Amino acid sequence: MENKHYIPRILENRINDFLKSPEIIAIIGPRQCGKTTLLHQIAAKLAFSKTGIIDFEDRDELNLFMHDIKAFAKLHVQGQEFLFIDEFQYAADGGKNLKYIYDHFPVKIFITGASSTELSVQSIQFLVGRIFVFNLYPFSFNEYLHFKEPKLAQLIDGRPEIGLEIIKRVNSHYADFQIYGGYPRVVLSFTNKEKETVIKNIFNTYLLREINQILNYRDEYKLTRLINALALQIGSSVNYNELSSVTGFKHNELLEAIDILEKTFVIHKSTPFYKNRRLELVKSPKFFFVDNGFRNMAIKNFLPASNRTDTGALNENYIATELVKKGYAIRYWRTKSKAEVDFIIEDQGDVIPLEVKTTLNKPSVSRSFRSFLEKYQPPRGFITSQQLCDDISVNDIPVSLVPHWYLDPRRI
C-alpha cells in the first residue's frame, strides 16, 4: 500500500526507468534524507509482484546474510521477483554475498546505504557491471515547493517567464528553505522550534552514529570543530594550515577527516576550474554543505536571512547544493589577479559560468564575470539574485538573470 504522506522525489522517476534492467539498484545518501521511504514507495508500486523487504538494522537478518547466505537466499530470495535491502552499509564485505544472490537468482535487487565509502569498499568491487548507483539527497527546492504549494510549483515549472508577484510568493518559501534546508523530517515539521530540534538530532546522528559507529572515527571534538570551521568559510577557498591550527588535526588527519565528511554526505567539494596553470588557481578547494539546515546547525544560527551577515554564504551554499542534486560537479574560477566566478558548470562539453549575488536591483555584470565571458566565450551564463528576472547579452553571449531558486536545469 502506497504511503499517502509520501513526498514525490525526482529520483524515483529516474529509477523507474531501470526497473526491468537486471542491474542492482543502489540508493545512497545522507541519513534521514528519505532513502527508506523511497525504497518502500518503489516496493509499494510493485505490490502485485513477489517482493521481499529486509532491513539490516535487524541484526538477526544481517547475521544470517553474512554467515549463511544460502539459508538467507532460501528464506528471502527464492521465488521473489524483487528484493529490497535497507541499510546495506551494516553488511561488512556484503558485496560478495550480494554477488552470489545476483548470480544465482533471477531477482531484481535494491539496496540503500548511508555512506559512499562503505558501499564502494564492500559492494562495488564485487559488482562491477552489475550495479547502478544513485545518490539521494535532502529535498531540492523544487521538491520542497511541490510539497508546500503544488499549484505554485506547477505554475513555475510550466512558465519560461515569471512576474514579480509570483517571485515574492516563492521567495517566502525560499526564505524558510534557505535557513532550515530540505531534510524530509524538517520539511514536515510545523514550527521553527520543532525544525531546529529535528536538525539537532540529525546533526548528532551523523557524528555519533554514522561516523563513529560505521567508520570507527572517534575524535568527535576535533571533527565538530572542523565542521564548524568549514561552515564559517562557505564560499571561501580553504587553507589547510589554518584549518589544522583551528581544529588540532595534523595535516594527514585533516585530509582524512575531510574525506570522511565528503563520503558521509556532510560536505561537497568545489575545485578550481582552470586552463592556464600560470594565471589561474589550480588548488585551494572550497567546501559546501549538502544541506543549509545542517550548516546552520553547525554554527547554531537559525535567524532569518534578513537578520544575518552571512546571507551571501547561505545563497551560495544553496546554489551549490542544488547543482549537486542535479548531478553537476561544482567548480569555481579564480585568477591569480583575484578575478573570480562563483560556479563553473560543465555540461555536455559546454563551460557555463554562474555568479551568485545577494542583491541585484538592475541588470549588471561584474568585471570578473565579464572577464570569464571574454576569455572562454561560453554559450551562455547565469546570474542569480533575490528577485531579478531578465535576459541580457554581453558581447553577444546570452546571460540569464534569475532568482536563486529559478535555476532551471533545462536552461543550463
The 3-state DSSP class for residue 176 equals helix
Q: Which helix (H) or strand (E) holds 49?
A: none
The 3-state DSSP class for residue 302 equals coil
Q: Among candidates 187, 192, 172, which has minimal Cα distance to 386?
A: 172
Q: What is the pLDDT of residue 263?
A: 85
Residue 185 to residues 147, 198, 316, 405, Cα–Cα distance (Å): 13, 7, 24, 21
β-pairing, 24-28 with 131-135? parallel
Query: Residue 157 contacts by C-beta under 8 Å, 6 or more apart in sequence?
Result: 142
Rg (CA), the chain: 22
C-alpha cell at 312: 551571501
pLDDT in 10s for each residue of the chain, 412 residues: 445 567 889 999 999 999 999 999 999 998 899 999 999 999 998 877 899 999 999 999 999 999 999 999 999 999 999 999 999 888 877 888 999 999 999 999 999 987 665 555 555 677 878 889 899 999 999 999 999 999 999 998 877 678 999 999 999 999 999 999 999 999 999 999 999 999 999 998 877 777 776 667 667 888 889 999 999 999 999 999 999 999 999 999 999 889 889 988 999 999 999 887 777 666 889 999 999 999 999 999 999 999 999 999 999 999 999 999 999 999 999 988 889 999 999 988 899 999 999 989 899 999 999 999 999 999 999 999 999 999 999 999 999 999 999 976 455 5
Q: What is the pLDDT of residue 118?
A: 53
Locate the domains of the chain by residue range. 10-135, 141-406
How many angstroms separate the CA atoms of 45 and 42, rounded?
5
The 3-state DSSP class for residue 46 equals coil
How many angstroms separate the CA atoms of 188 and 195, rounded?
9
Residue 330 to residues 39, 98, 296, 333, Cα–Cα distance (Å): 28, 33, 21, 11
Residue 337 to residues 133, 234, 274, Cα–Cα distance (Å): 40, 21, 14
How many angstroms separate the CA atoms of 304 and 176, rounded?
8
Q: What is the pLDDT of residue 1?
A: 46
How many angstroms separate the CA atoms of 383 and 391, rounded?
10
How many angstroms separate the CA atoms of 114 and 406, rounded?
29
- Tell me which CATH homologous superfamily contains domain 10-135: P-loop containing nucleotide triphosphate hydrolases (3.40.50.300)
How many angstroms separate the CA atoms of 304 and 111, rounded?
38
Q: Among candidates 317, 296, 304, 309, which has minimal Cα distance to 234?
A: 317
Query: Residue 31 contacts by C-beta under 8 Å, 6 or more apart in sequence?
Result: 114, 202, 205, 206, 209, 210
How many angstroms separate the CA atoms of 125 and 410, rounded?
35
